[in-house]
Amino acid sequence: MEQNNSAEYYAPIEIIANASDEGRNLRDVLRKRIGISRRLMVRLKTSEEGLSVNGQKVWPNHKVSEGDVISLRMEAESSETILPQPMELDIVFEDSHLLVLNKPAGIIVHPTTGHYLNTLANGVMHYWQERGERIRFRPVHRLDEHTSGLVVIAKHPLAQLQLSAQMMEGTVTKEYRTFVYGRPPENEGEINAPIGRQTEDPHRRVVREDGAPSQTFYKVAETYSDQASALEIRLGTGRTHQIRVHMTSIGCPIIGDSYYTEEKWTTSSIGTKLSAIIDRQALHAARLGFRHPVTGEEMKLEATLPVDMLRLQQELRTIDR
């Protein structure tokens, strides 16, 4: 992070103008090259060091020439309402634009009413504070409290904007690993079933005709007799509790998920046995694929299974197949 007399800034983002940019307004070049929003353009325009070409401050209507070095510098922000808290973080990837963490189960991503500490955000703010960095906490997506795995945090508005756009376009690949009761009807399949809130319990989601379109792809990785299966899951949409609801809808609830699992499984001999091994839904966000929001590089990140799911897998493999 660098500092001038009036403001603190993130490290600059630099773009080299190519032949197709020749003679175009800077505003148009930035929209075409990095999809910059009007709101962000206004912020850069009004910032003392927001926009420059070849080291000289310019306005959005500046005419660009091939070979020009375009520099964007955004004023640093901080999440002042999030209390820094020391926390062990499993960092999978980090640069000046992104922080990708392997979130443990049992921790929520962002503070909520009455829950101001012991969140991933508290740990990240402490981590940045210790490094002398002033950054606002911007999670691009979230995971349920008891789901482990990869979470992407943008370090500045442009990165958040770009990744959110990829999410909306469906070009971000999200793959999960889970263990379920029973065996799916096919070794590989697609679940297209709309999801909405349950009338009696608005926190609970169910498959219902008037719900939001929801799509989940699954592939059986391992089976343990007819009692349980290991699945690879890929999301087509990202509804709240989607995987948990869809797995239950085909008769294969996630092991450890007391909220969506029928009593016939939780009180069965295998359910009783496995409850001593894992006390949360056996669901892990294992892989993420996306384009880097600034460099355009194809990113493929992976987080290994946590200890409790490895123990569960070991126990399931003792079942006669």
Compute the average pLDDT of residues 107-111: 92
| 126 vs 87: CA distance, rounded Å | 8
Selecting among 21, 68, 144, 308, the annotated active-site residue is: 144
Q: Determine the pLDDT at residue 99.
A: 97
Does residue 144 carry a catalytic annotation?
yes
**Given phi > 0 = left and psi -120 to 50 = alpha, else beta, which region is 277?**
alpha
Given a cut of 80, is residue 76 above it in pLDDT? no
Region 167-179: what's the mean pLDDT? 92
Summarize pLDDT for 93-105 with one digit per residue, the tens.
999 899 999 999 9
Residues 44-73 have pLDDT tens digits of: 777 777 888 898 888 888 998 889 888 887
Task: Yes or no: say if 81 and 73 are a contact pair by the CB < 8 Å rule.
Answer: no
Provide mean pLDDT across the span 282-301.
94
Paired tokens of 122: 């508290």
Q: Assess contact for 171 and 219: CB atoms under 8 A.
A: no
Same fold, 91-169 and 173-316: yes
Please determine, for residue 193, whether its predicted confidence score (pLDDT) is greater than 90.
Answer: yes
Q: Is 317 helix (H, G, I), strand (E, B) or coil?
A: coil
What phi, psi does 242 have (nearest 5°)?
-55, -50
The SS3 of residue 43 is helix
Residue ranges covered by each domain of the chain: 2-72, 91-169, 173-316
CB of 183 closer than 8 Å to CB of 310: no
Residue-wise burial string across 263-285, b where 16 or more C-beta atoms lie within 10 A, e elsewhere = eebbeeebbeebeebbebbbbbb
- pLDDT tier, 5 (very low <50, low <70, confident <90, very high otherwise): very low
User: pLDDT digits over 6-31, tens only?
Assistant: 456 666 778 888 999 888 988 888 88
Residue 214: CB atoms within 10 Å: 24
For the cut 70, the answer to whether the pLDDT of residue 301 exceeds it is yes
Q: Is the pLDDT of residue 136 over 80?
A: yes
Fold category of 2-72 in CATH: 3.10.290
Scored b (16 or more CB within 10 A) or e, 139-149 reads bbbebbebbbb
Taking only the tens place, the pLDDT of each residue in 213-254 is 999 999 999 999 989 999 999 999 989 999 999 999 999 999
- pLDDT averaged over every residue in the chain: 89
The whole-number pLDDT of residue 9 equals: 64
pLDDT higher for 320 or 264?
Answer: 264
* Residue 248 or residue 42, greater confidence: 248
Q: Which of 29-33, 154-158, 299-303 has the highest mean predicted lDDT (pLDDT)?
A: 299-303
Q: What is the CATH number of domain 173-316?
A: 3.30.2350.10
* Residue 165 one-letter amino acid: A
Contact 72, 57 (CB under 8 A): no
Superfamily of domain 91-169: Pseudouridine synthase (3.30.2350.10)
